[in-house]
């Protein structure tokens, strides 16, 4: 059934008008996250459609904003940058909020950037955001959904 759902989703997306496919998504739910003293205004990508579009087609993103991708169960998630115009860093995050690994991603490429172990969360920020703040693997992200 999962394959059927994925195939149907692909057919639905192919049938969308070009203007809907080539525009950034808006109106996503948001939450505040923090890593130490640093706060993040995170848009939430929780549905398959939201996760598939992600940050595609955006020309810029404010420095304190990001997107948190939330999946139903942990897996070895891999991300790419097709149709994504800004350089990003992906933080692959464990259920307890600890960063497993960070991956810098080049715009408009299809190279895979994968979690080092199964995770349910991926936080995308402007490239350099984590490095400028000294945030590394094992750092903790707090806020919903990481709060007990």
Residue 146 placed within a domain: no
At residue 114, the 3 state secondary structure works out as strand
Q: What is the pLDDT along the chain (148 residues), one digit of tens a residue?
A: 433 333 333 333 333 333 445 667 778 999 999 999 999 999 999 999 999 999 999 999 999 999 999 999 999 999 999 999 999 999 999 999 999 999 999 999 999 999 999 999 999 999 999 999 999 999 999 999 886 6
Which residue(s) pair with 69 in the sheet?
45, 122
Please tell me the distance from the alpha carbon of residue 58 to that of residue 80, in angstroms, as a whole number: 15
Whole-model pTM: value is: 0.84
Whether 54 is covered by a domain: the verdict is yes
Distance CA 12, CA 16 (A): 7
In a domain, 47, yes or no: yes
CATH of the domain at 72: 2.60.120.1140
Q: Within 13 A of 68's CA, how many CA atoms are on the CB side?
A: 27
- Return all residues near 116 (Cβ < 8 A) that are at least 6 apart: 92, 100, 101
Q: Is residue 100 part of a domain?
A: yes
């Amino acid at each position: 059934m999962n394959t059927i759902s994925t195939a149907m989703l692909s057919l639905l997306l192919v049938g969308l008008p070009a203007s809907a496919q080539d525009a950034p998504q808006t109106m996503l739910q948001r939450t505040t996250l923090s890593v130490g003293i640093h706060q993040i205004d995170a848009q939430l990508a929780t549905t398959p459609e939201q996760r598939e579009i992600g940050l595609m087609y955006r020309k810029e993103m404010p420095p304190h904003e990001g997107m948190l991708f939330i999946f139903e169960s942990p897996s070895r998630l891999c991300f790419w940058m097709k149709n994504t115009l800004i350089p990003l860093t992906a933080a692959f995050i464990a259920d307890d909020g600890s960063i497993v690994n960070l991956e810098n991603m080049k715009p408009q490429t299809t190279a895979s950037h994968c979690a080092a172990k199964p995770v349910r969360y991926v936080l995308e920020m402007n490239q350099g955001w984590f490095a400028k703040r000294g945030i590394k693997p094992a750092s903790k992200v707090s806020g919903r959904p990481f709060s007990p």
